[in-house]
Chains A and B, each alone.
Chain A
Amino acid sequence: MHTPWWRNRRLLPLLVQATVGLVVLVTIAYLLGNLVRNLSAAGLLLSWRWLNLPAGFDISESLLPFNAELPYWRALLAGLVNTVRVVLIALVGATLLGTAVGTAAFSSNGLLRRLSRTYVELIRNVPLLLQLLFWYFVVFLSLPDGSAAIQLPWVVLAKSGLHLGSPQLVNGVWQGSLRITLEFAALLTGLIIHSGAFIAEVVRGGVAAVPPGQWEAARSLGLHAGQTLSRIVLPQALRVIVPALNSQYISLAKNSSLAVACGYSDLYSVAETTLNQTGRSVEVVLILLGTYLAMDLVISGLMNRLNRLVQIQER
């Protein structure tokens, strides 16, 4: 019997793939052709030499020494270091907060349980950008200055920044301690509180996935609540939590690019300034995409190693 060609089990997949491949290739070629034509018409053909030109703008805070005469690549590097700094601290903070809130959902105290739910529902349904703007413009920028500053043990909250340690008031200026800028503090607070809510959901889901018999068995062995949680429940919950935590960490790293909203000079904000000055849009976007992709891969790689550690070791 002769099968028509559109029923041919061997020919059809090849045909479909060839068509799809052709369409994708032609589209890419068309777009790239346009890109090259338009860029050469604008005199902006791909080149990396501008990276060595002096940047001509300053960065408000930077761990690496930086001034306006240093080249663009130093500016972008300083931005990257700033991004990594805020992401690392926010990761730790959000994990602690999320774990606390997530486990509070299983507290014997009804008020604590409800507060934990309220926090999660409140934060998850409000855009992060709005929260960041709120922290920066409403909370941190309205801090009083000078002697009116809020003095807590180990930290003074003033308009000039957050002064850690034991700062002294000299001529109306707080001095002699580690200073955290308001921009950094606002970004950090916003990121920690936002990601904390998502991590709390992950932790809650992970703990809920542990069978209730485990709780009961631990209790009948005479372990108290804290021991039950840390020795019995959390190690088992981690097997569910760690893979989900991976994607939360990656989205935290990507969310740090909203730093531009509260005036913190992270990689994205430096890149935006660079683009506005040089007009090198393609190169700048390539740098941005590549860097964030690399950051995601690093986080994923580390989390996968952690995941192997917490999974059941089978013999």
Chain B
Amino acid sequence: MNRARALTNRLRRELFATPLDGLITVVLLIGLVSGLKALLHWSLTQADWAVIQANSTLLAVGRYPLNQQWRLWLLTALLSGAAGISWGLLRGAGWPRSDRLAAAVLLVLGLVLPAGLGLAAPLQQRWWWLTALLLVGRWAAGRWGCELPPRWRRLLPLTWPVLYLSGLGLIGGGLGLMTVRPSQWGGLLLTLTEASFAIVVCCPLGIALALGRCSELPLLRWCSTLYIEFIRGAPLITLLFLGQNILGFLLPGGLAPDRVWRAAWILTFFAAAYVAEAVRAGLAALPRGQWEAARSLGLNMVQTLQHVVLPQALRAALPAIVGQFITLLQDTTLLSLIGLLDLLGVARAVMANPEFLGRNAEVYLVLAILFWCCCAALGVGSRSLERHLNRQVLRSQP
């Protein structure tokens, strides 16, 4: 009874505090409800989701050869296993509320999404296995992870670069595996490959550029500033255009990478300039005394950067850097404008198919949801990492 009264009180305070507020609430509610009703009506009765079901493989991997797709499944399995184990080792045996929530969301996604998309039965089963692998990894690593010697646990951050490189190898082939040329990669696979490559490589580049821009040596400062401002002054699409049309002229014949890797390098160089600005802001936020203290302790330049300056500057810059990663993931859609078959490129090819003419809304909606989920997940991950790091700092201070 009391709770009900508290709820009505709160509603009145939030929504009907003044007559104007009440009017705004009513107008907004009418708009919202009619909009949601129209969307629901459209998605249940008018929309034809066959375009997604029929093209799900195409959207996921493009024209990757059918008989080689087990490699991608293996990679996904390795990734979900590694993700589960890392998650478990980070959080330990307990399951706090956020972890239970995440596990529930994963379970629902793993069970409902494939069925909702109408995937074939074997594909559905594979999704179930992947989800199970992730959750079992989380549970087992949380349970027995702390019993491992710390020497082993320190290897954990190392597994990810190894996994990344072997993943690229698995996708591309070589060493006895059939080579799948980058022009055959497509869809979500291409989008994620390009984005992850750019994210991994642009970080060291960006840090180097930021250090160069803050350096006391004028030549380093000028070169870095010139590069950063040049890149930031140009729209990405013109740079991609430059990559496709001029890179071939800049390198001796035969040395220029193919179109997919050209775009990946351009994305990397583009993102590096923005990451550099984020890192520079982090460096600027660092009190001058930190440098002086490190120097008076007798640390040399490299030691100062490694142990004193960069850990603090990068922690301050983390939200901005992850913001750049989110932008980068979204920017991969521009690849479709220069004729690559990334997720959007494949989607546009699908919509050009006469069989699925006029099904634009469904495809764009699914793409938007996919991108939204990826970007929002990155944002949530960055915020929780930030909290984790801040807690660590608080704990380490006396």
Contact = CB atoms under 8 A, between A and B. Distances in A.
Interface size class of A (residues with CB under 8 A): 35 or more
16 contacts: A17-B217, A35-B249, A108-B18, A109-B14, A111-B28, A126-B330, A126-B368, A130-B368, A134-B364, A137-B364, A254-B235, A261-B337, A268-B235, A282-B246, A289-B238, A296-B233
Contacts of A257: 235, 237-238
Interface in B328-342: 330-331, 333-334, 336-337
Interface of A: 13, 16-17, 20-21, 24, 31, 34-35, 38-39, 42, 107-112, 115, 121-122, 124-130, 133-134, 137-138, 254-255, 257-258, 260-261, 268, 272, 275, 281-282, 285, 288-289, 292-293, 296-297
Contact of A111 (B25, B326, B368): B25
Contacts of A282: 246, 249
Most buried by B among A13, A127, A134, A272: A127
Nearest to B369: A126
A134 B236 CA distance: 21
Interface stretch (B116-124, B165-173, B250-258): B250-258
A109 B25 contact: yes
Given A127-B371, A128-B330, A130-B371, A109 B337 contact: no
Contacts of A109: 14-15, 17, 21, 24-25
Contacts of A21: 219
B291 to A, nearest CB: 16
B367 interface: yes
Nearest to B233: A293
Given A126-B371, A272-B241, A285-B241, 7 more contacts: A35-B249, A111-B25, A122-B372, A126-B372, A257-B238, A268-B238, A289-B242
A39 B351 CA distance: 38
A13 B246 contact: no
Contacts of A129: 333-334, 336-337, 344
Nearest to A294: B233
Interface string B209-235: 000000011111001000000100111
Contact of A134 (B25, B330, B368, B375): B368
B238 A292 contact: yes
A261 to B, nearest CB: 7
A125 B371 contact: yes
Given A24-B223, A34-B250, A110-B15, A125 B375 contact: yes
Interface of B: 14-15, 17-18, 21, 24-25, 28-29, 32, 216-220, 223, 230, 233-238, 241-242, 245-246, 248-253, 326, 330-331, 333-334, 336-337, 344, 348, 351, 360-361, 364, 367-368, 371-372, 375-376, 379
A133 B343 CA distance: 14
B39 to A, nearest CB: 13
A21 B224 CA distance: 12
A115 B368 contact: no
A34 B326 contact: no
Given A109-B17, A133-B364, A257-B238, A13 B375 contact: no
Contacts of B230: 293
A138 B330 contact: no
A129 B236 CA distance: 12
Contacts, number: 144
- Pairs of residues from A and B, 4 with the lowest C-beta to C-beta distance, nearest first: A110-B14, A127-B330, A125-B375, A254-B235
A282 to B, nearest CB: 6
A293 B233 CA distance: 5
B237 A258 contact: yes
B249 A39 contact: yes
- The SS class assigned to the B binding surface is helix
Contacts of A272: 241
Nearest to A118: B32
A297 B233 CA distance: 9
Main secondary structure of the interface of A (DSSP, over half): helix
Contact of A285 (B15, B28, B246): B246
Most A C-beta atoms less than 10 A away, residue of B21, B238, B376: B238
A285 B242 contact: yes
Contact of A292 (B235, B326, B334): B235
B28 A255 contact: no
B249 A293 contact: no
B249 A34 contact: yes
Tell which of A121, A289, A296, A297 has the most Cβ of chain B within 10 Å: A289
Contacts of B250: 31, 34-35, 38
- Which one of A13, A17, A133, A254 has the greatest number of beta carbons of chain B within 10 Å? A133
- A38, A130, A261, A268 interface centre (most CB from chain B within 10 Å): A130
Contacts of A121: 376
Contacts of B360: 133-134, 137-138
Contact of A17 (B24, B219, B376): B219
Contacts of A261: 337
A115 B364 CA distance: 22
Contact of B223 (A20, A34, A107): A20
A129 B329 CA distance: 12
Contacts of B372: 122, 125-126
Contacts of B351: 137
Contacts of B333: 127, 129-130
A128 B376 CA distance: 15
Choose among B230, B250, B379 the residue with the greatest number of A CB atoms under 10 Å from its CB.
B250
A111 B242 contact: no
B334 to A, nearest CB: 6
Nearest to A7: B300
Contacts of A39: 249
Contacts of A31: 250-251
B192 to A, nearest CB: 14
Contacts of B326: 125
B235 A16 contact: no
Nearest to A134: B364
Contacts of A17: 217-220
Contacts of B220: 16-17, 20
A277 to B, nearest CB: 13
Contacts of A20: 217, 219-220, 223
A288 to B, nearest CB: 5
